[in-house]
Amino acid sequence: MLNGLARYEFSERLADILGESRRDLRFRVTLMVSGGLVAPGPRGRGSPPATPHYAAHLLIGAMAAPQQAQTVEAIRCYADLRPTAVAAGGNTPRVLFGPALAADDENPSESSISLDGLPFGEALAGLLELACAEETRAIVASEVFGVWINRGCPVASLQFSACWQGRRALVSHTYGLAPDAAPPAWLDSQRGGTVDPGLFHSVFLPVRKLIEIGLLTTLSDDRNRPMMNKLGHKVAAIANMAKLAAKTPHGSRWEKLLSALTAVQAWSEQVDSQEKGRLLEVTGFGSNPGELRMYSYVPERLPANAPLVVVLHGCTQSAASYNKGSGWSTLADRYGFALLLPQQQWNNNPLRCFNWFKPEDNERDKGEPLSIRQMVDRMLHDHGLDRRQVYVTGTSSGGAMTTVMLATYPEVFAGGAVLAGVPYRTAKGLQEGLESIFQGRSRSAGEWGQLVRAASSHQGPWPKISVWHGDADTAVKPVNAEEIVKQWADVHGLDAQPTIQMTVDGHSRRAWQGPSGEELIESYTVLGMGHGAALDPGAGPHQCGTAAPFFNAVGISSTHRIADFWGLLADRPVRATAPAQAETAAAAEQGGRGARALDRGEPGFKEHATRDTEPPRGSAAPGQRAAAGRSFGLDVHGIISASLEAAGLLKAGTTNRRPDSSAPLGIDVPGIISTALEAAGVLKGVAQRSASAHPEAALKTAGWEGAGWELLLEDPRAFRGGPMLYGHAASGDHGALGARVQSISRRIKLGPQPELSYVRRLDLSAGVNDYTSASFRVLIDGIVVDEVTAIGMVHQETEWLRQAAIDLKQFADRSVTLTLEVAACANIYSTVYAKAWVDQITIHNAVDLAHC
Positions marked catalytic: 396
Helix, strand, or coil here: 519?
strand
Length, in residues, of the chain:
852
Burial class (CB in 10 A: 0-12, 13-18, 19+), 585: middle
DSSP 598: B
Distance (Å, whole) CA 250 – CA 689:
57
Distance (Å, whole) CA 180 – CA 354:
56
Tell me the H-state helices in 541-631: 558-566, 579-594, 622-627
Distances (CA, A) of 346 to 225, 235, 320, 671: 25, 12, 15, 48
Distances (CA, A) of 308 to 87, 372, 530: 51, 13, 29
Distance (Å, whole) CA 60 – CA 817:
51
Q: Report long-range pairs for 459-464 (Cβ below 8 Å, ≥24 apart).
A: 462/410, 462/488, 462/491, 462/492, 462/520, 463/406, 463/410, 463/413, 463/414, 463/415, 463/416, 464/414, 464/415, 464/416, 464/518, 464/519, 464/520, 464/521, 464/565, 464/566
Q: Are residues 852 and 770 in contact, defined by beta-carbon separation less than 8 angstroms?
A: no
DSSP string of 101-137?
--TT--SPPPPSS--TT--HHHHHHHHHHHHHSHHHH
Residues ≥6 apart with Cβ < 8 Å to 475: 253, 256, 257, 260, 396, 420, 437, 530, 531
Helices 22-34 & 71-79 angle (0-180, nearest 10): 70
Burial class (CB in 10 A: 0-12, 13-18, 19+), 388: exposed
φ, ψ at 540 (rounded to 5°): -65, 160
**Residue 501 CB neighbour total at 10 angstroms:** 11
Distance (Å, whole) CA 39 – CA 835:
52
DSSP string of 276-327?
TTTSEEE--SS--TT--EEEEE--TTPPTT--EEEEE--TT--HHHHHHHH-
φ, ψ at 749 (rounded to 5°): -100, 125
The rounded Cα 19 to chain-centroid distance in angstroms is 32
Q: Are residues 359 and 408 in contact, defined by beta-carbon separation less than 8 angstroms?
A: no
Tell me the H-state helices in 567-661: 579-594, 622-627, 636-646
Q: Are residues 483 and 442 in contact, defined by beta-carbon separation less than 8 angstroms?
A: yes
**Residue 428 CB neighbour total at 10 angstroms:** 12
End-to-end CA distance of the chain: give it in Å, rounded.
71
Residues ≥6 apart with Cβ < 8 Å to 180: none
Distances (CA, A) of 237 to 233, 234, 427, 844: 6, 5, 22, 40
Distance (Å, whole) CA 416 – CA 405:
9
Q: Report long-range pairs for 644-651 (Cβ below 8 Å, ≥24 apart).
A: 644/669, 644/670
Beta strand 415-419 pairing with 464-470: parallel
